[in-house]
Structure 1
């Protein structure tokens, strides 16, 4: 399978990929590209060290928009001027959700509900809970199965004349359920609501067509499949015709119409720049450029095909080796409904995960009893998956024997 893999050659471009470590956590923090280290070192020495403050007079001020447009073009299929690199995912989510709710309330005070599912990522739920309290609106919860996600039928039953905003994840963080983003967006719009998509677990692994699917707003992190590094800044998408209609709540100097006028009052910049607040995190956005170059070269269609092949292989091996030990699949079996990770469920998986880390096999754990295997298409091999699942099988056997007093 590795010999037949048309993307296998990208693996050697990542630090440590040729070593003995089995990395099953690319959906939490991607491996660093070798060229990214060189890029950051060169910037620190030559650009920052050489140009000092003069660097702001050249490329630095434009970098959030240039890389944003590159993400738009290569990753989420959005035309220029709609995507920008900014703050953390949490802060960008707050900005866009708060702006959307305020705009809807101003248009119709009766639109006082935010729809979100009970298994959305904690940051999403916590941020929306805070906004609901700030703005005096209600949260309307969609109760979902932790091995699945929000279906069109569930959303249709949840939205209505009171819905201001819908917030959903394109790929569920726990189960990898791949939502029908186009249909869910249509349902939200038919109800008169805006929709905000969390693309953290899909950007760089699953094709997204933000413009074609009619997205209003979206946020996504860059340290997973875009390999931007720990804490690398997130990106925000705001549809061009919506940019002047909503007002983001964190009014900082970098989002002002004239950044250096230092005027007494805030006037928002035109276009996507009005959604920037403070000084752009220049160093933090450099590493992802190397992965964006690989994505542009390989194409999201090929990356998605490799992702499906990897997760399908992992499920097939787990079915043969782990199902007899009581392990169940907590992700969709249908690859059309699955992102780039797989969750395997068993009551012993917390302990298994801890022991695997000691063996240089690195998955992560999510309650209830879920060992989550994140397979990054550009840096993961089939042999690595096979070797990691063999270690998982052996470790689980040992744990079960010990618990039975037979080891």
Structure 2
């Protein structure tokens, strides 16, 4: 993308910028303010609680800020809908929320036609449901398909769930060993899959490095091998465009408390391609997935559509907050959010190059924005301590081993000046830590 700010030095050249140069600091601050003035999404920032304060929030890829309107909506729901209608609320609207909000996510966030996306349980539970259903269906079709392919740096819950499914079904895991600053490449997946592959599970955006996987190509490779593929969209939904139908996804899960701002523990979503819905038997059979849930019949008879992947009572209160962010995404459009996300991460890397690289920090995310999601990981062996000290100064990144300070930038709620302030304080704190280590503090 074209930029009118200071040029980002090429990494690996050994070029140094004087860390305490006021001219560099001031020129980058002026650039940040120009970017904020030109930002077509800047007006959304004031719609989030706390965005007007001096706190720097670099953790929107773990837990997004709450929209002001979401707070008002939940309070109103508690008083009027729940408090006023009581159980009558189920008859009016609540029963349909899992599919209505699911369709809204499908339309606005992952480009899936109606009837394929649903809001349900936690990411872990939905991942188990879809993965187990896929493996069971593949084994029924071909008992030789006993391999589940996953990479060594996938999110822990994905690895743990699949390890359990492998033991339950007598399958084995086929591991793809990936670089923690990168992710699964088409070449690696092509080498791992074959006639024994039942299921492939890949994160669209790697949680540690932000590596953006080539989703259409990896999906094609899995399908060519006769495997199903399940996409983890937790770190891409709401920050990176997803085209579930166009790319031929079989299955996908994603959380709603990161870029969709649903709140702590808000329920996850699941995508199941329409032609697979009547084929897959979900393993956690519950009354919400039956053809007539109020018949209370003696047998489980699943509905032949996306609702069969529901189990128990829908978490109604937990679904409300995300609707406010979905409205913003519908209004702004994912292409605009992606463009700002790239601009924010590019600016963060520019500042890291100028201020942190001279202190020994390296980039642990892809340098190419086309291969990077909505966050940036900066590596130094002091980052665990740096992160702890930053939290005490109202700068909130998070830490991931080995030595990674993760800077998550939500395009709706993060400003360029906020990035500038946060990385300036990161430089100051890292200097302090290094001085103390050298006995100079």
Same fold (TM over 0.5): yes
SS at match of 1:195: strand
Q: Find the counterpart in structure 2 of residue 335 from structure 1.
A: 369
Pick aligned residue for 1:186 from 220, 241, 245: 220
Structure 1: tracts of 5 or more residues without a match? none
Pick aligned residue for 1:318 from 337, 345, 352: 352
Q: Find the counterpart in structure 1 of residue 179 from structure 2.
A: 145
2:206 is the counterpart of 1:172: yes
2:55 is the counterpart of 1:21: yes
- In 1: Cα distance, 2:226 partner to 2:304 partner: 25
2:70 is the counterpart of 1:36: yes
Q: Find the counterpart in structure 1 of residue 21 from structure 2.
A: none
CA-CA distance at 1:18 after TM superposition:
1.1
- TM-score (norm. length: structure 2): 0.92
The C-alpha deviation readout for 1:117-140, integer Å capped at 9, x for no partner, is: 000000000000000000000000
Q: Find the counterpart in structure 2 of residue 154 from structure 1.
A: 188
SS at match of 2:266: coil
Q: Find the counterpart in structure 2 of residue 361 from structure 1.
A: 395
The C-alpha deviation readout for 1:238-258, integer Å capped at 9, x for no partner, is: 000010111000000000111
- In 1: Cα distance, 2:60 partner to 2:71 partner: 18
2:156 is the counterpart of 1:122: yes
- In 1: Cα distance, 2:229 partner to 2:175 partner: 15
- In 1: Cα distance, 2:168 partner to 2:110 partner: 31
- In 1: Cα distance, 2:221 partner to 2:232 partner: 17
2:338 is the counterpart of 1:284: no
The C-alpha deviation readout for 1:71-100, integer Å capped at 9, x for no partner, is: 000000000000000000000000000000
SS at match of 2:378: strand
Pick aligned residue for 1:60 from 76, 85, 94: 94
SS at match of 1:254: helix
Pick aligned residue for 2:261 from 227, 233, 244: 227
- In 1: Cα distance, 2:79 partner to 2:147 partner: 50
Aligned length: 407
Pick aligned residue for 1:347 from 375, 381, 399: 381
Structure 2: tracts of 5 or more residues without a match? 1-34
Q: Find the counterpart in structure 2 of residue 251 from structure 1.
A: 285
The CA RMSD measured in Å over matched residues stands at: 0.3
Q: Find the counterpart in structure 2 of residue 215 from structure 1.
A: 249
- TM-score (norm. length: structure 1): 1.00
Q: Find the counterpart in structure 1 of residue 32 from structure 2.
A: none
Q: Find the counterpart in structure 2 of residue 298 from structure 1.
A: 332
CA-CA distance at 1:270 after TM superposition:
2.0
SS at match of 1:3: helix
Pick aligned residue for 2:230 from 193, 196, 210: 196
The C-alpha deviation readout for 1:156-176, integer Å capped at 9, x for no partner, is: 000000000000000000000
2:423 is the counterpart of 1:389: yes
Runs of 4+ in 1 over 2 A off after TM superposition: none
- In 1: Cα distance, 2:75 partner to 2:169 partner: 45
SS at match of 1:130: helix
Q: Find the counterpart in structure 2 of residue 6 from structure 1.
A: 40
Q: Find the counterpart in structure 1 of residue 133 from structure 2.
A: 99
CA-CA distance at 1:330 after TM superposition:
0.1
- In 2: Cα distance, 1:65 partner to 1:46 partner: 23
- In 1: Cα distance, 2:119 partner to 2:79 partner: 23
SS at match of 1:287: helix
- Tell which structure's C-alpha radius of gyration is larger: 2
Q: Which deviates more from structure 2 when the two are superposed, residues 266-275 or residues 86-95?
A: 266-275
- In 1: Cα distance, 2:364 partner to 2:63 partner: 21
SS at match of 2:206: coil
2:306 is the counterpart of 1:272: yes
- In 2: Cα distance, 1:389 partner to 1:158 partner: 40
